[in-house]
């Protein structure tokens, strides 16, 4: 029986499961090489940890890795119900809460290496964590897409550590009651991007769709709904999605360095964001809180027909 030790947390309602023991050995390469090894050779392990019956489509997993860069304190590879992710903002906040729970980090700053770059995290003394993310940018603005059974939308293609298509849809109802409709529309937009061969500048799939509407909280600037690559919606405002939004706001002249943007999620949780400019690049910082929800050991019994998860 294989044993995998995990710590679960949530960040603004979005769960993170950090594997602290029992993960596969991904070698000594760079974090993006190790992510590719994980994708190629350990898909069954990924599914066993994240998918039903042990997990669910909403969970984001995190493998704690030795960093490749000697500047960094820790390395991490995030993954979801269909494969590895490039980066994950809410997951990085959950990772810091987990490391604090384990007594492995103290209040202060810690550099974390991800497959797409180094992020600087700051653990505050009130459960809050700031993540100074990788450089973020809008690759293309106002991209026109005809979406069957919805209409024509104009969206921004932006990078915040993952690829996003950001669309203002103020006429939709941004409430938990309306999640099915928001999900259906987001899927239609994603399919329309695919069928129109609209990709990132490097040809990568734009696999996160982000819709924006008016906030419910008085002190928030906007509310979002994010459809993640595997079909679940983000319960948090999404760290990489908020970073992409901040980059677009800055490109439009609507957010100056140091100004605060409060991004509300569909569940009502809030990330606070701002940007700074370094060598002409936009560097977003997002701040949110995470709470530990569980610790335990997963048991992987090869005789169990669903040992490696129910395929999604």
Binding site for ligand PYC (CB under 6 A): 14, 60, 88-90, 162, 228, 234, 236, 238-240
| CB closer to ligand PYC, 65 vs 210 | 210
238 part of the active site = yes
CA-CA distance, 153 to 169, in Å (whole number)? Answer: 9
State the nearest-atom distance from the C-beta of 301 to ligand PYC, in Å. Answer: 29
Tell me which of 72, 228, 238, 248 is the catalytic residue: 238
Alpha carbon distance 9, 145 (integer Å)? 37
CB of 220 to ligand PYC, least distance (A): 17
Catalytic residue among 72, 88, 228, 248: 88
Shortest distance, CB of residue 43 to ligand PYC, whole angstroms? 19
Active site residue 88: yes
Q: Considering the complex, what minimum distance in angstroms separates the CB of residue 96 from ligand PYC?
A: 13
Toward ligand PYC, which CB reaches closer, 233 or 300?
A: 233
Q: Is 24 exposed, middle or buried (0-12, 13-18, 19+ CB in 10 A)?
A: middle
3 state SS of 204: coil
For residues 110 and 101, give the distance between their C-alpha atoms in angstroms, rounded to a whole number. Answer: 15
How many Å apart are CA 96 and CA 115, to the nearest integer? 17
Q: Closer CB to ligand PYC, residue 162 or residue 274?
A: 162
Which residues on adjacent β-strands are paired with residue 185? none
HSE-CB for 48 with a 13 A CA cutoff: 24
Q: Quick one: 16 or 215, whose CB is closer to ligand PYC?
A: 16
Going from the C-alpha of 82 to that of each of 50, 190, 230, the distances in angstroms are 9, 16, 6
CB of 303 to ligand PYC, least distance (A): 33
Which DSSP category does 178 fall into? G
Enzyme catalytic residues: 88, 238
């Amino acid at each position: 029986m294989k044993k995998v030790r995990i710590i679960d947390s949530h960040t603004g309602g979005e769960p993170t499961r950090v594997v602290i023991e029992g993960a596969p050995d991904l070698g000594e390469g760079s974090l993006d090489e190790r992510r590719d090894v994980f994708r190629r050779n350990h898909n069954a392990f990924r599914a066993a940890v994240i998918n039903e019956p042990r997990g669910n489509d909403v969970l984001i997993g995190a493998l704690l890795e030795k960093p490749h860069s000697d500047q960094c304190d820790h390395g991490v590879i995030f993954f979801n119900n269909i494969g590895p992710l490039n980066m994950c903002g809410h997951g990085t906040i959950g990772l810091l809460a987990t490391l604090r729970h384990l007594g492995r980090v103290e209040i202060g700053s810690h550099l974390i290496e991800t497959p797409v770059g180094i992020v600087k995290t700051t653990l505050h003394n009130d459960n809050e964590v700031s993540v100074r993310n990788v450089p973020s940018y809008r690759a293309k603005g106002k991209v026109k897409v005809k979406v069957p059974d919805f209409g024509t939308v104009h969206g921004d293609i932006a990078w915040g550590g993952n690829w996003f298509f950001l669309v203002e849809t103020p006429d939709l109802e941004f409430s938990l009651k309306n999640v099915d409709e928001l999900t259906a529309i987001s899927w239609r937009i994603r399919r329309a991007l695919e069928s129109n061969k609209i990709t990132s500048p490097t040809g990568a799939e734009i696999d996160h769709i982000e819709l924006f509407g008016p906030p419910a909280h008085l002190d928030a600037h906007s509310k979002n709904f994010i459809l993640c690559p595997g079909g679940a919606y983000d319960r948090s405002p999404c760290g990489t999605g908020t970073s992409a939004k901040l980059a677009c706001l800055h490109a439009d002249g609507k957010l100056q360095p140091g100004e605060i943007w409060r991004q509300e999620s569909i569940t009502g949780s809030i990330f606070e964001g701002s940007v700074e400019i370094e060598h002409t690049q936009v560097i977003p910082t997002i701040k949110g809180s995470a709470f530990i929800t569980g610790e335990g050991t997963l048991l992987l019994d090869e005789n169990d027909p669903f040992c490696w998860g129910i395929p999604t």
